[in-house]
Amino acid sequence: MAERFDVLVQGISEHDALSLLMAQTSTVQRPADRYFAATRLGLSESDESLDALLTATTKPSIEELYDRITRRKAIESLGRRKDKRAIPALINVLTCTDTEAVINAINALVRINWDPSEEDKDLLLSLLHGECTLVRAVIQAHTRLNIQHSTAEKSIASLCDHEQALIAGAARAYQAKLYGKKELLNPLETQLLDLIAGKRRSAVIDLGDARDPSRIQSLVDAPISMSLRANSCFQIIDDQSPLQQKNFISQLEVLLTDNPKHLKIRSEWQCDPNPEEIERCLSHRDEAIQYGAALSLMNLNSEDCLQIINSMEERLWSDYVTHYYLTCIVGLRQFSEKSYLVRSALAETTPQYTKSRVAAAWACLKLDLYDQLDLLYQLSSSAYWKPLRWSCQQVFARLINKQQLSNK
């Protein structure tokens, strides 16, 4: 379970989670609580909870549905704990028959920053002939853990032109990052504008893994979830020296302010400028189509745009996708009469609205919302997600500067 869903498990005490984790499913009133318990123990720090999670990697039967899911969540939680004592248990999982559990174990080992032995490397490499998602996870582990292995280099190189984009993209990122073959990333830049949303998203992840700063502009321009692009861009930038990092401030600002006018939006993703079509496209699962609708809102005259915002605010403000785009548009178009939406978005602590808080931070700068300085300052140091923390740092500093200049 992604961190943004932690709110679902925070009501479970560690004591209750420990009792639920290994319970017989038939004795539990709500069977799903078992795997919520595994996730809850990922937030704990006690040795008892760690031991319970380690036990859960082997004890539950993978034949029973809730046992299987609970085991997978326990493995995932061990990755979140980042405790190296979990490494032997996670390595053992790599030999099991539950593919999802194996993938979770690989990802957990990456989060723990595993340093595999030669024998471990051979075991990991033996998984390179499984299902597509497993092969991708194996390659990503090689890339993220910087595993250089002569057999791995040859085996992964042979996958750069694989028919599955998930495999080919990961293989290209590995070759680019560890062996300097940056030219292999060119098809991934093209893939950022693919008609298939999944291919666009995987290309963003692979370019982030490759850590090539020359690809940042392509990520900034791509009509793909701002969150996903921001994660990859910060991944690349954090790999540079502090002096070099300063060169990317303007690109990061363009990415995080997320103006659809700056994105490469194909004609297939554009939206007719009428309220019904804009609303339909904003709720589409494909972010490129969402951006097409946002672009229409940006291009409408102010009166028509505000009418649509008013209508959607009344009915759809709680929908986190709509919430994000409306917050963006209010800031980008400097609709001061809607500044209360910006204040509301910046104060929203529900994890699903974190992206809206980024939009709200930049809107504070556009709308000169000096009354939000205290919250911006707080978030500039305490926000868990780096794109939000960085945005608040930038906006706070600039608002202070504007305030000082206006007082002279």
Q: Which two tokens stand for residue 142?
A: 């090689």
What's the confidence (pLDDT) of residue 62?
74
Q: Which of 61, 60, 123 is nearest to 87 (CA)?
A: 123
What's the confidence (pLDDT) of residue 11?
67
What's the confidence (pLDDT) of residue 4?
52
Same topology between domain 1-113 and domain 267-406: yes
> Alpha-carbon distance 21 to 118, whole Å?
34
Predicted TM-score (pTM) of this structure: 0.93
pLDDT at 183 > cutoff 80: yes
Q: Tokens 């363009």 identify what position?
A: 254
Between 50-64, 90-104, 153-167, 302-316, the lowest mean confidence (pLDDT) is in: 50-64
> Alpha-carbon distance 149 to 334, whole Å?
54
Q: Tell me the mean pLDDT in the region 153-176.
A: 97
pLDDT, the chain, mean: 94
pLDDT, tens digit, for every residue of 322-356? 999 999 999 999 999 999 999 999 999 998 999 99
Q: What angle do CA 202, 208, 211 make, to 5 degrees?
A: 145
What's the confidence (pLDDT) of residue 8?
58
pLDDT at 227 > cutoff 80: yes
What's the confidence (pLDDT) of residue 9?
64
DSSP H stretches of helix in 115-225: 118-126, 132-144, 150-157, 165-179, 186-191, 197-210, 216-221
| CATH superfamily of this structure's domain 267-406 | Leucine-rich Repeat Variant (1.25.10.10)
pLDDT, tens digit, for every residue of 111-135? 999 999 999 999 999 999 889 999 9
Between 277-281, 312-316, 402-406, the lowest mean confidence (pLDDT) is in: 402-406
Q: Tell me the mean pLDDT in the region 378-386.
A: 96
How confident is residue 406, by pLDDT bands cut at 50, 70 and 90? confident
How confident is residue 149, by pLDDT bands cut at 50, 70 and 90? confident
> Alpha-carbon distance 184 to 399, whole Å?
42
pLDDT > 90: what percent of the chain? 88
Helix (H) or strand (E) holding 276: helix 275-282
Domain ranges of the chain: 1-113, 115-253, 267-406
pLDDT at 284 > cutoff 90: yes
Between 6-20, 186-200, 292-306, 310-324, the lowest mean confidence (pLDDT) is in: 6-20
Looking at domain 1-113, which CATH architecture does it have? Alpha Horseshoe (1.25)
